[in-house]
Structure 1
């Protein structure tokens, strides 16, 4: 069936080792398995030492039909950063925001820009989410209304320039759906609440558990793998937004993005986060799914 693999971030050697441990073999430069298919959760680029090798490995597997892949926020940032309008001007206004995380990736492709442009063009053909034989795959957040809106807008099998221009402006229902799907739902802190991370920087928001209803939770309970401590008191109602929790009877969702440095990857019988913080001295994680309706801890591979 499917081997779902979390955020890689330029760690090609670790990816090769993981694939080999799961029985994948390399033939004619491409990894394959006789009875299974890999599914990559996005964030192939940035941070690691083998970004180009990672892109080539993932792309070859997908193009050969040995793997599927969804886009992560890092790939989407790279796509938006590179796109120009018909006059040759960048479609994104705040280019520095997109550029800073890409420095290492751009450095690897500095002397082979044509190859980089080829990869960007290929990335634009990848989906933002997948529904496969009763499971769901997304980089950061599965919210039904967001997915429905993206389905309406992404009908051509490619991220069109007009679509990317709309979402890069961050001022519409479509852009909210786009960014929540690849980056999750950030909770905005009130202006009078100062929270500092371990570097002494003030933080204005934190990553939240998108699968729960925030009503009645404390800031600490709602946070998901935050890199700074949050107060353990109940979020005031005037700051909260009621949302439908992800139901226990909903299909299994596999996602990455959240850098699980500690703790279990399986968050509920139908929720699995496979980002095990490989970019911060963690391990590359995979889940070997074979049709089960509820997740099994023994199917996690690292």
Structure 2
């Protein structure tokens, strides 16, 4: 059964792709005003442009409630588009229950710790947050606009094709999220996490590194758009928290990876916390996440129909 997350709009031909907001409503409002959006009775609106949010608008920041309200209002009134990020997916999963009424998630792990800040900010407004979760289930996992694409973490064509064939159109059913939680490494779970979290490279057991938090991670986020053959660990890393050794990755431990073609449409994504940049990493690859809770800066790319990314179209505002 096909799912149609392919969008082509004829009225709008200019878009502003906005990075992970993570509860920083004040910075988001400042950015929107900076790039010409005006506050109206239906939220922030631009006479000629439409905003596109790459996901991860909840958790971490001090104004999560306001952030959701701004983005949801823009989407519902036709002034913006948005895709699901891994933080929204985790929130949906966290509130799921079995038919018996028992919670699906019985013990929290690191994927849900960030959610507690969101829950705290909705204290006394639990019904509102549950309504937001229903709305989140109406958001797509990716957008294919023809001339450009948007996904939260990784444009994997096999994952895109799987989603098209296996998830019905419209609001995503709760059963899909239950399956994501139960089977994260196969089927629907594997493909949706690829789109929303990217490709994690598991380090060999004899390779030990230390992150900026003093811990020794066992995986790193890789440059999913490149061929890993013949590359070093550092060359394939798209991490912001630690560096990796400059020696070639052994062929036998290279993970499954989707290489993004150089002649494919521009793809925009977030997720990778590029506080120091660069945001444009190839002529058709752009990460608009600028670690808003660390740098206090939010990044947008103003797409005007170009086939090749232009660094002059990047806009960044801070607190």
TM-score band (shorter)?
Answer: over 0.9
**What does 1:48-127 correspond to in 2, within 5 Å?**
48-92=61-105, 94-127=107-140
Per-residue deviation, residues 181-239 of structure 1 (Å, max 9, x unmatched): 00110000011212221332111000100100111111111110331121111111111
Distance verdict in 2 for CA 1:229–1:19, change over 3 Å: same
CA RMSD of aligned residues (A): 1.4
Where in structure 2 are there 5+ consecutive unaligned residues?
1-13
Partner of 1:300: 314
- Give the ranges of 4+ consecutive aligned residues of structure 1 lying more than 4 Å apart after TM superposition: none
When the two structures are superposed, what TM-score results if normalisation uses the length of structure 2? 0.91
Partner of 1:130: 143
Counterparts of 2:111 and 2:217 in 1: how far apart (Å)? 19
* CA shift for structure 1 position 93: 5.5
Q: In terms of mean alpha carbon deviation, does 9-18 or 192-201 score higher?
A: 192-201
**What does 1:215-294 correspond to in 2, within 5 Å?**
215-241=229-255, 243-294=257-308
Per-residue deviation, residues 226-264 of structure 1 (Å, max 9, x unmatched): 311211111111111364521111011000000001132
Where in structure 1 are there 5+ consecutive unaligned residues?
none
Look up the SS of the partner of 1:180 in the other structure. helix
1:6 and 2:19 matched? yes
* CA shift for structure 1 position 98: 3.9
Counterparts of 2:220 and 2:94 in 1: how far apart (Å)? 24
Look up the SS of the partner of 1:287 in the other structure. strand
* CA shift for structure 1 position 90: 2.3
Per-residue deviation, residues 100-149 of structure 1 (Å, max 9, x unmatched): 11111010001111111111111111011001142110000001001110
Give the total of aligned pairs: 302
Within the candidate set 154, 161, 170, 1:141 is matched to 154
* CA shift for structure 1 position 286: 0.5
Counterparts of 2:204 and 2:235 in 1: how far apart (Å)? 17
